[in-house]
Amino acid sequence: MKRYWYVFVIGILMLMQTSCTTSSNLTRGEVYAKLYEEKPVSILVMPPINNTSNVEAKDLLYTSVSRNIAEAGYYVISPLIAMDVLRNESAYDAEYFINSSLGKFKEYFGVDAVIFATIENWAKEGWIIHTKVNYMMKSTTTNEILFERSCDLHLDLMKNSGTGGLLGVLVDAIATAVDVAMTEHIEAARYANHYVFDDLPYGKYSPLYMLDKEVQAKDKNVKKALSR
């Protein structure tokens, strides 16, 4: 009975995908053929590569990536454990490894794949947060790219932002100057992660594992303009 329910869910996903605008008619099975072939189970998320002047962007994004991957059915190494080991092994800077052999990561962590994130933009202008991040999953066995997408996100914080009127703007501005700013950037990071990994094929620990090959793949370059 459960099997039929999962097939029904996949059918709904396929209908939803066909109703959305995409630049490709390819399925996940076609776009992510190497991922389906290698069937990675365990994942290590590397600390992001930060190409911006925002020194906090790296940690903000790093702490929010794992959840989406785990929810897709993969075993993800705890970021806290990974960070500690990577620092002890002088391997914390992902830019030194993204184009290198990843066999050592399989040896140290026992993982099947490594995810790299590169932050290209992370800024706030007025009430708009602009985040642009590229994501790549690479095999620790073959070094092949198994999954790759990017997200260019604009989050409008002004809309529906509270008190209203000039007084509301002043109140919100004061609040934003304190701890709220950090929360807003975390919110943007979570949105970016969500929209990128919502096309990640399901992993071994998902009941939909290997049932989504015929689901239409989404665009590799995600562009979103959101408001609260």
**pLDDT over 70 at 191, yes or no:** yes
For residue 168, what are the contacts with CB-CB under 8 A and spacing of at least 6? 161, 162
Predicted pLDDT of residue 80 = 87
Tell me which DSSP letter residue 110 carries.
Answer: -
Question: pTM for this structure?
Answer: 0.82
Question: Which of 11-20, 23-32, 108-117 comes out lowest in average pLDDT?
Answer: 11-20
Full DSSP string of 184-214: HHHHHHHHHHHHHHTTSPP-TTSTTTT--TT
With CA atoms as reference, report the closest residue to 194 among 149, 145, 156.
149
Spell out the long-range contacts of 10-16 with Cβ–Cβ below 8 A and sequence spacing 24 or more: 10/208, 10/211, 10/212, 10/214, 10/215, 13/212, 13/215, 14/214, 14/215, 14/216
What does the alpha-carbon distance between residue 3 and residue 173 come to, in Å, rounded to a whole number?
A: 52
Owner of token pair 């002047």: 53
Residues 6+ apart with CB under 8 A from 134: 117, 118, 120, 148, 149, 150
- Which pLDDT tens digit goes with each residue over 12-25? 455 444 444 455 69
Work out the number of other CB atoms within 10 angstroms of the CB of residue 112. Answer: 23
Q: Which domain holds residue 100?
A: 2-227
Identify the bridge partners of residue 227 per DSSP, sorted by sequence position: 156
Averaged pLDDT, 214-224: 97
State residue 178's pLDDT score: 45
Q: How many helices (H) and strands (E) does the chain have?
A: 8, 7
The enclosing domain of 122 has a CATH number of 3.40.50.10610
The C-alpha atoms of residue 32 and residue 23 are separated, in whole angstroms, by: 16
The structural domain count of the chain equals: 1
d(CA 79, CA 65) in angstroms, rounded, equals 9
